[in-house]
Chain A
Amino acid sequence: GDSVTQMEGPVTLSEEAFLTINCTYTATGYPSLFWYVQYPGEGLQLLLKATKADDKGSNKGFEATYRKETTSFHLEKGSVQVSDSAVYFCALSENAYSGAGSYQLTFGKGTKLSVIP
C-alpha cells in the first residue's frame, strides 16, 4: 500500500536558519503530493501541493519539488521565523486520472518544528 515517511522530529532552529524537512513516499500509482501545517491546538491547513513530476509547490516562503525519480517531496524554507513553529505533515493522494482515484490521503507522522528567537 501507499506510505509516506518523514524525518523524525522535533526539529529546533534559530530564527533565519534554513529549513529542510525530508519526505519520501511509496505509491502504486501516480500520486499528488501535499504539505499540511498544524499550529498548536488547531486543525490542518494546506501549505502547498504538487500534482506531477518536477512541479514545485510554493507558499509563504516554503517550497517543495515533486521528484519522481527519488520519490521525494522535501519541504524547504530559506529563512524561518518564530511564527513557523508548528507540526508539518507530508501527504499523498492517488491521482484519479491514473485510474487509481482515491478518497484517502495517506499522511506521514508529522515533524514538529520549533523556531527560537
Chain B
Amino acid sequence: DGGITQSPKYLFRKEGQNVTLSCEQNLNHDAMYWYRQDPGQGLRLIYYSQIVNDFQKGDIAEGYSVSREKKESFPLTVTSAQKNPTAFYLCASSKIPGTSGGYNEQFFGPGTRLTVL
C-alpha cells in the first residue's frame, strides 16, 4: 500500500541535543512538507520541498533544518536552537500543484511526538 511513514512515533530529547525525525513516502510525490502542531494552534508549516535537492522555509523555520537527497525522503532535524520544540510533527506529501486538478491535496503521515526533557 502506498503511503507516508514517520519514525519514531515518540521521541524524547534532552535540552541542547539535535534530533532528526524521519519521513518516507512511496506515493511518487514530488512535493513534501513538514508541519508542527501545538494544541489549539492548528498546523504551522516549517519547511517544504518541491524537488530533490531544493527546499523552502515555511512560516516557522527557525531552529529547524531539512534535506532532500532522495525523492522519497525528507528528514527534519530539530536543532538546539529551537527554543520550544515539544510538539507533534507531521510530514505530508503531494503532487505538484497544477498537476492534480489545480489544487494541492496533501497526504499526511501518522506523526512524531517530540518531548524535551
Contacts and interface: CB of A to CB of B under 8 A. Distances in A.
Contacts of B63: none
Contact of A109 (B42, B48, B97, B101): B42
Interface string A41-52: 111111001010
A81 interface: no
Contact of B110 (A43, A51, A94, A95): A43
Contacts of B109: 43
B69 interface: no
Contact-residue bracket for chain A: 20 to 34
Contact-residue bracket for chain B: 20 to 34
A109 B42 CA distance: 4
Contact of A102 (B40, B104, B110): B104
A96 B58 contact: no
A95 B99 CA distance: 11
B3 to A, nearest CB: 10
Interface of B: 4, 6, 31, 33, 40-43, 45, 48, 50, 56, 58, 90, 92, 94, 97-98, 101-111
Interface of A: 32, 34, 36, 41-46, 49, 51, 89, 93-98, 101-105, 107-110
